[in-house]
């Protein structure tokens, strides 16, 4: 691919300006890699753990040790890591249905959860399909303040009003399809302490997607009861081909395991079917791969801000997930952005993405993803709903170099679109 002189010059300027931020990202990646390797040594990882289980999967040593390693890395009492979890939404659904019972309240304190959870909760969809609402679980919501902080006074009032019905306080760490700031682990830790101080029996549950290994601690290390994510995002390191995880207190993980399989069986079964090695290898790569995605996001913020677009976070701000937003301002520019990302991808670079009505989304969505693993968000990808202000949500890049190519292609595609129109 050949880029214009203007685009190449912007990239060169960006890398000079971002040198300090890239160095900080490398320091975090080193500390997280140390943590992963310490856990591997502590649990004596060996080749035998990569062997395939079958059938019920009783005594699958590799599976059980991976759960223990994951708990250590996440700062949790227990963890459940399975290749059979098909997506982040699936992992979250396991956690929600594992904990919530008829008459309980699911209380979201960071605004509306990600679009694909709307039908799970029962905010949209057809009554009788099996949502939480169908099972008598109520939903309440408090938005964040304009500065991205929690509304602690309102949260306290609602928790006291709900009483014992306040079974779950739900927090989405990342912005999803909202134009808001991502929450830091420190912010979530303060919330967990606050909630437990008022309602000790309430489970604080965190959608941790896109946030793993961006900081040196995870929410379960600072008091969250259940932390949930997908292995084809940050923690799979670009190696895991499917899967998800749930980590937290022993009781919360146990309840989730009963939903994954059945009550009384839980995490005791589940054949690894040859996937253990990829999940171990993915966890090993995860801190480094996440760092590559973070560097790519910083580069994108710098270039598109200089081109006159509103971005969040800005290029010189600290980050708490790998997502970068670019407010394109029009359907044409959003589609041009995604076309550029697709052209700059290693797989399906010849494909032209088009908006369509994806299952689970209330608006038409355009998605660009030239990934080795279908739907893998840690690889170079971008998407956005076709609604004002036409925000592109960008994430990933298995390597900084490939991510850079994708960003330059997206910028050039948008400039060409503006020129043509």
Alpha carbon distance 51, 102 (integer Å): 41
The pair of three-digit structure tokens given for residue 86, joined into one six-digit string: 């098909």
Segment 176-234, tens digit of pLDDT: 777 788 999 999 999 999 999 999 999 999 999 999 999 999 999 999 999 999 999 99
Strand partners, 391: 327
Residue 361: Cβ-neighbour burial (10 angstroms; 0-12, 13-18, 19+): middle
Segment 122-154, tens digit of pLDDT: 999 999 999 999 999 999 999 999 999 999 999
Closest by alpha carbon to 281, among 230, 331, 317, 235?
235
What is the third-level CATH fold of 52-273?
Answer: 3.40.640
For β-strands 168-172 and 203-207, DSSP reports them as parallel
The pair of three-digit structure tokens given for residue 294, joined into one six-digit string: 């973070």
Alpha carbon distance 389, 311 (integer Å): 12
Q: In the chain, list all ranges with CATH 3.90.1150.60.
A: 5-31+284-420
The pair of three-digit structure tokens given for residue 170, joined into one six-digit string: 């739900």
Structure confidence at residue 203 (pLDDT): 98
Average of pLDDT values for 337-347? Answer: 95
The overall pTM is greater than 0.75: yes
Structure confidence at residue 175 (pLDDT): 86
Segment 230-283, tens digit of pLDDT: 999 999 999 999 999 999 999 999 999 999 999 999 999 999 999 999 999 999
pLDDT at position 362 over 90? no
Q: In the chain, list all ranges with CATH 3.40.640.10.
A: 52-273
Confidence bin at 356 (pLDDT 50/70/90) = confident
Determine contact, residues 348/408, Cβ cutoff 8 Å: no
Domain 5-31+284-420 belongs in CATH node 3.40.50.300 = no
Confidence bin at 421 (pLDDT 50/70/90) = low
- Cα angle 75-267-195, degrees, rounded to a multiple of 5: 45
DSSP code at position 163: G
**How crowded is the C-beta side of 262, counted as CA atoms within 13 Å?**
2
The pair of three-digit structure tokens given for residue 77, joined into one six-digit string: 């009492």
């Amino acid at each position: 691919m050949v880029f214009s002189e203007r685009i190449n010059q912007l990239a060169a300027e960006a890398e000079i300006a971002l040198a300090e931020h890239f160095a900080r990202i490398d320091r975090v990646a080193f500390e997280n890699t140390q943590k992963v390797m310490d856990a591997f040594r502590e649990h004596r990882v060996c080749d035998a753990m990569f062997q395939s289980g079958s059938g019920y999967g009783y005594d699958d040593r590799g599976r059980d040790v991976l759960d223990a390693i994951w708990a250590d890395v996440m700062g949790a009492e227990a963890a459940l890591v399975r290749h059979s979890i098909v997506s982040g939404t699936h992992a979250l659904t396991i956690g929600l249905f594992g904990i919530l019972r008829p008459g309980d309240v699911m209380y979201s304190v960071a605004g509306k959860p990600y679009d694909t959870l709307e039908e799970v909760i029962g905010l949209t969809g057809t009554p009788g399909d099996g949502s939480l609402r169908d099972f008598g679980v109520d939903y309440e919501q408090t938005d964040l303040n304009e500065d991205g902080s929690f509304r602690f006074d309102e949260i306290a009032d609602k928790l006291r009003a709900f009483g014992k019905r306040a079974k779950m306080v739900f927090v989405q760490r990342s912005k999803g399809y909202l134009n808001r700031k991502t929450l830091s682990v420190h912010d979530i830790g303060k919330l967990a302490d606050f909630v437990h101080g008022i309602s000790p029996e309430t489970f604080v549950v965190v959608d941790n997607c896109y946030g793993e290994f961006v900081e040196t601690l995870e929410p379960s290390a600072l008091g969250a009861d259940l932390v949930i994510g997908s292995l084809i995002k940050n923690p799979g390191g670009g190696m895991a081909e499917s899967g998800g995880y749930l980590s937290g207190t022993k009781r919360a993980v146990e309840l989730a395991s009963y939903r994954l399989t059945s009550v009384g069986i839980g995490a005791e079964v589940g054949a690894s079917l040859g996937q253990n090695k990829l999940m171990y290898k993915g966890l090993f790569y995860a801190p480094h791969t996440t760092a590559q995605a973070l560097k790519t996001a910083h580069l994108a913020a710098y270039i598109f801000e200089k081109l006159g677009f509103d971005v969040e976070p800005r290029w010189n701000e600290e980050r708490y997930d790998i997502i970068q937003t670019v407010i394109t301002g029009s359907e044409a520019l959003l589609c041009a952005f995604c076309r550029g990302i697709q052209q700059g991808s290693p797989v399906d670079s010849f494909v032209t993405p088009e908006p369509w009505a994806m299952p689970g989304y209330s608006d038409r969505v355009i998605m660009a993803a030239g990934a080795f693993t279908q739907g893998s968000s840690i690889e170079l990808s971008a998407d956005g709903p076709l609604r004002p202000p036409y925000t592109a949500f960008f994430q990933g890049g298995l390597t900084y170099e490939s991510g850079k190519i994708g960003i330059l292609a997206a910028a050039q595609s948008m400039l060409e679109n503006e020129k043509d129109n």
